Every structure is written in structure tokens, then in C-alpha cells.
Amino acid sequence: MSTASASVRRSPFKKWCDQNTGLFFLIPWILGFLIFKFYPFASSLYYSFTDMNFFKGIREYGIMNYIDIFTEKETRTALLITFKYAFITVPLKLVFALFIAYILNFKIKFVNLFRTVYYIPSILGGSVAIAVLWRALFRDTGVINTLLSFFGIQGPDWLADRTWALFIICLLRVWQFGSAMVLFLAALKGVSVDLYEAATIDGASKTRQFFSITVPMITPVIFYNLVTQIAQAFQEFNGPYIITGGGPRNSTTLVALLVYNYAFKENEMGMACALAWVMFVIVMVLTVIAFSSQKHWVYYAD
């Protein structure tokens, strides 16, 4: 390290400075972390043990919020739905992304065009405009039902049916599989051709090659996508807020939306913080599980 090779005769302060140059560059980050991340994080935990209300302040301390979360229907439903949402969207997104990336990785003409088409939804999918579009597509007399009626199918009331409403919210996320796909594509390109050639000579079928060469070689990217997608899925807010408002009958009230409703609709900040913390712990546990499972299935070349 260049700093280590500095001359011997220096004042202790200078020496300290030399050894900690990197720290100077981290000062903004450290401050940012303390002010905008750690302080809110810690005070969120504090508020979660109070009945903090915008207009009434704190009147009571205790674990009542956590008791409510695990006993009340509203919060339990929201947690359950959020799990459903994550466990539907994350695998579907990854499977689609890998599948399309796999095909694109053959010597396909217009690969850039295809890549663009698949990627655009990821860029725009989070916007209000697309949420508005989704409403237009899935109205009772919307385009999708008009389309279905051409095939003689009477489409469901997408936005009024509890199962279908969640389905279309999931669909909005799965539709954005492009970003994961681009990652897979880059990883696939990195898999050495020699491996496939050797396998072909040994007479391994394409399917066999896919599962015994391709997948193992790109497990780091699968892992990365898995972890980031889980974290994102648990935070989804825009879709349900704009498309369904959480309805019908709370069937699309994901945790992030319920936290918002508690905090800014009902002014119950304490309850909102507690629910957010429950969600945080869940995400944390899932992440830790994913990380500790790494050594069993993720293959790092170096």
C-alpha cells in the first residue's frame, strides 16, 4: 500500500492521517449514515414501543403495537399477502429472466432490439404513468377484457376480485424482469465456451448442459438477483397505492402500503414503526438465510 511506504520521520498526527486517508473520504458517508439512516432506524425502534400519534404525541409505552400486529386481522393479512407477493413475483421474475437471457445468448440476430424491448418495462415500471396504464388495461371494460372477449372469454373483474387484484399487482412486477435478465445475459456470456464444447463431445444434451454447466456457473448472479429481488418485493408501494389503493377488501394491501396508511392516514406513527420493524426483521431473516445457504449452492470461480 502506498501509504505504508511513507518516510519514517513524521509526527504522530501525520502518521495517523497517513494511515487513515481512506477515512477522510468516508466522512460524508459516515455522517449521512448516522443522520439519515441510523438515527431514523433507531428512533423507529423507539417509536414502535409507543403509541406515537401526529397530533396527540406519545401517551403510552409498551409492546401493544407488536401484540396488535400478530393478533389483528388487518396486519396479519397484510403480512401474509406480502409473503404471497414476494413468493410469487421473485421466482417468476428470475425464471423468466433466466429463460429469456438463455435464448438471447444463442447467436440471435437483432439481439439488441430484443434486449431493449425486454428492458424498457424495468425502467418505466415503477412510474405513476405505468400504474395508470395498468388501471386502464385491467378495468372491467378495459383492454384485457375486450381482448379476451374476442376469444369468447368473459374476463374477470380484475380490480374487484381479491385473487385477481393481487395477481395483476404481481404481474406488474414480473413484467419488469428485464433488469434481472440483463444481469443473467452478462453472466451467461462469461461462461467459457470450452465447457460446453467438452460437454457436447461427451454427448450431454442441451438440457443437461443447461442444468449442469450453465446454472452452476452463474449461481453468483442468481444469488445476487434473488437477494435484491426479495428485498425489493417486500418494499413495493407504488403499484398497490395507485392501481388498487390496497383493495378490494385489503387484498392488495402490502406491508409497505399499510405502514403508509397507519402513519399518514390514521396518524398512528407508533403502529407504523412497529409494523415496519416486523417487516425489517422478516427481510433480515430471509437475507441471512440466503447468505448462509450460499456455501451450499453458490459457486465462486475465484
Partner 1 sequence: MKKAIALALAGVMSVGLLAGCGSSGSSSSGAASESATGETSATTASDSGSGSGDLSISWWGGDSRHTAYQNALAAFTEETGIQVSTHYGAWSGWEDQTSAALYSDNAEDVMQVNWNWLSQYSGDGSKFVDLNEYSDIIDLSQFPQSTLDACTVAGKLQALPVSMTGRIFYWNMNTFKQAGIEEVPSTLDDLYAAGEAFKTNLGDDYYPLALGEYDRMLLMTFYLESTYGKPWVEDNTLQYTVEEIATGIDFIQSLEDNHVIPSLQTMNAAGIDGNNSIDKSEQWINGMYAGIFEWDSSATKYQGSLADPSGFTVGNEIKFGDKANGGFSKVSMGLAITETCQDKEAAAKLINFLLNGDGASIMGSECGIPNSASGLAAAEAAGAVDELVLEANTKVMAFVDFQLDPTYESNDLKANPGGVYTDVFGGYSYGEYADSTEAATDLYDGVTEALEDAAKG
Partner 2 sequence: MTPMKLETRHKIARFFQYFVLIVVGFVMIYPLLWMIGATFKSNAEIFTSIGFIPTNPTLDGYIAAVTQNYGGDINIWRAFLNTYSYVIPKVIFTVISSVIAAYGFSRFKFKGRDVLFSIMISTLFLPQVVLNVPQYLMYNTFGWINSPLYLPLWVPTLFATETYFVYQLVQFMRSIPHDLDEAASIDGCGPVKILYKIICPMLSPSLVACGLFQFMWSCNDFMGPLLYVTTPTKYPMSIFVKLSMDGDTGFNWNRILALSLISIIPQLIVFFAAQDAFIDGIAAGSVKG
Using CB under 8 A as the criterion, which residues of the chain lie in contact with partner 1 when the complex forms?
Answer: 6, 14, 17-18, 21, 24-25, 27-28, 31, 35, 54-56, 59, 74, 139-141, 157, 159-162, 244-250, 253, 258, 261, 264-267
Least distance to partner 1, CB of residue 261, Å: 5
- Interatomic CA distance for residues 236 and 125, integer angstroms: 12
Which cell numbers hold the place of 205?
444434451
Number of H helices, E strands in the chain: 17, 0
Of residues 21-80, which lie at the interface with partner 2 (CB under 8 A)?
Answer: 21-26, 28-33, 35-37, 39-41, 43-44, 47
39 contact choice in partner 2, partner 1, none (CB below 5 to 8 Å, kind-dependent): partner 2
CA gap 239, 67 in Å, rounded: 29
Give the whole-angstrom CA distance, residue 225 versus residue 133.
Answer: 27
| Locus of grid cell 393478533 | 71
Distance CA 285, CA 184 (A): 26
Instruction: Find the binder of partner 2 among 220, 247, 248, 250 (CB under 8 A).
Output: 220
The residue within the footprint of partner 2, chosen from 106, 151, 194, 201 (CB under 8 A), is 106
Nearest to 134 by CA among 166, 106, 169: 169
Which parts of 142-201 interact with partner 2 (CB under 8 A)? 142-143, 146-147, 150, 175, 179, 182-183, 185-187, 190
Neighbours of 103 (CB within 10 A): 12
- Tell me the residue length of the chain: 302
Between 9 and 24, whose beta carbon lies closer to partner 2? 24
Q: Does 83 bind partner 2 (CB under 8 A)?
A: no
127 binds, among partner 1, partner 2, none (CB under 5 to 8 A by kind): partner 2
